[in-house]
Amino acid sequence: MPDWLDVAVRGVIFLIVLFLMTKLLGKKQLSELSFFEYVSGITIGSIASEVIINLDKKIWNGIIGITAFSVLILLIEILSLYRKRVRDLVEGSGTVVIKDGKVLEENLKKENYSTDELLQLLRGKDIFNLSEVEYAVLEPNGSVSALLKKDYRPVTRKDLGLTSVNEKEPQTVIMDGEILDEALTTIGKNRGWLQAELDKQNVSIENVFLGQVDSYGSLSVDLFDDKIEVSESQERPLLLANMKKCQADLELFAIATESKTAKSLYTENAKKLEESMQKLTPYLKN
Amino acid sequence: MTVGANVKQCLATVKSIEAGLSTLASNSSDEEAKRLFHEQMMVMGEIKKDIMKRVGELEREEEQYKGF
């Protein structure tokens, strides 16, 4: 066998071996969250590359090396899953670098981080002013997690005292002009419904690059042909506007009528509509 | 337009709101939203009934505008 063919064959074999091993070790290995995973990733890769290029080395030795390493990591990982002490030892724990808004210089030195590096990491989190940080931890994987002071945190619905509204994740039902039946069934819809929605927006399925259904069951599409304008669904705001109009009408009737019973009927219903509108507004506003 | 016609128009709007809420109730995937839409749809139904009653009275008063 010529050298080049040998290298090619080895390349293919080790690609398969590495693929199987990463599958075995799972997503955690890829995320390299801890020192241990980082080192093992490098070592496994080095063994593979060494055996692929260096034709003096036996293929079997490489495969055994990688397998042994992977199995060992897997065992340690399983062990650390159940034992906190093993976990702390293997994966390390975070170091607090800012507490009560003050930088803990000692801890920073211990982790060999300079002030510049800390600032750089914080800037990566869009924090430019150290005084905005209440608490920050240097994670075992070298990134920094920061808790902002309450004043500098983004405003939430809760801060504004708005009623809590929950929304489910949008489902992608059309991709590259193909219908994804699985996503459709997840939201309890079928192809007939989708076709009707598409007809409503006047687009054909072949022209749809991406189609998503939101929490309220309305379909938004992106077309291949970007010259065609697709209108955003106005269903919910329109409904709210209709309610407002109707409520105003009822109040008007109440004023206009001379009959006492009719007056109370109108006012009562206007009030009912008003209440209903208040409850629905958070859901109907876009 | 007479009062009768105005009230009838309002009735039509209430009906369309009821239908819109019904669609939202069946299309929403969040249970809480589904329940709220359904509840408010029922409220619309009550309002609709009241207005229909009033439309009946008005029709008796204004015979010439009968029919809906």
3-state secondary structure at position A259? coil
Residue holding tokens 């340690």?
A76
Task: Give domain status of residue A262, yes or no.
Answer: yes
- pLDDT digit string (tens) for A80-138? 889 888 888 887 788 999 999 999 999 999 989 999 999 999 999 999 999 999 999 99
**A211-219 mean pLDDT:** 89
DSSP 8-state assignment for residue A253: H
Chain B residues in contact with A216 (beta carbon < 8 A)? 24, 27-28, 33
Q: How many Cβ contacts (< 8 angstroms) between chains A and B?
A: 83
Q: What is the DSSP string of A122-176?
A: HHHTT---GGGEEEEEE-TTS-EEEEEPGGGSPP-TTTTTPPP---PPPEEEEET
Partner-chain residue, chosen from A166, A243, A265, that has the shortest CB–CB distance to B32:
A166
Task: Give domain status of residue A230, yes or no.
Answer: no
% of chain A at pLDDT higher than 70: 99
Is A224:A205 a contact under the CB 8 Å cutoff? no
Q: What is the DSSP string of A88-118?
A: HHHH---EEEEETTEE-HHHHHHTT--HHHH
Please check the confidence at residue A40 and state whether its pLDDT lies above 70: yes
Beta-carbon separation of A273 and B24 below 8 A: no
Partner-chain residue, chosen from B13, B28, B36, that has the shortest CB–CB distance to A215:
B28
Exposed, middle or buried: residue A12 (CB in 10 Å: 0-12, 13-18, 19+)? exposed
Please check the confidence at residue B67 and state whether its pLDDT lies above 70: no
What's the rounded Cα separation, in Å, for the pair B37 and A83? 48
List the structure tokens of A96: 């607090």
What's the rounded Cα separation, in Å, for the pair A86 and A48? 28
Domain shared by A7 and A83, yes or no: yes
Look at chain A and report how many structural domains it folds into: 4
Task: Give domain status of residue A166, yes or no.
Answer: no
Residue of B nearest to A276 (CA): B40
Domain shared by A130 and A76, yes or no: no
List the structure tokens of A231: 């209108």
Domain shared by A146 and A82, yes or no: no
B37 touches chain A (CB under 8 A): yes
The CATH number of the domain where A130 resides is what? Answer: 3.30.240.20
Domain shared by A193 and A211, yes or no: yes
Residue of A nearest to B5 (CA): A253
Among A89, A107, A122, residue at a domain's last position: A89
Q: For residue A74, report the phi and psi dihedrals to the nearest 5 degrees.
A: -60, -45
User: Could you tell me the residue range of the domain that residue A114 belongs to?
Assistant: 95-152
Q: Give A20-26 contacts, CB < 8 A, sequence gap 24+.
A: A21/A66, A21/A67, A21/A70, A24/A70, A24/A74, A25/A70, A25/A73, A25/A74, A25/A77
**A278-283 mean pLDDT:** 90
Please check the confidence at residue B66 and state whether its pLDDT lies above 70: no
Please check the confidence at residue B1 and state whether its pLDDT lies above 60: no
Task: Give domain status of residue A241, yes or no.
Answer: yes
ipTM: 0.88
Give whichever of A56-70, A123-137, A194-208 has the largest mean pLDDT.
Answer: A123-137
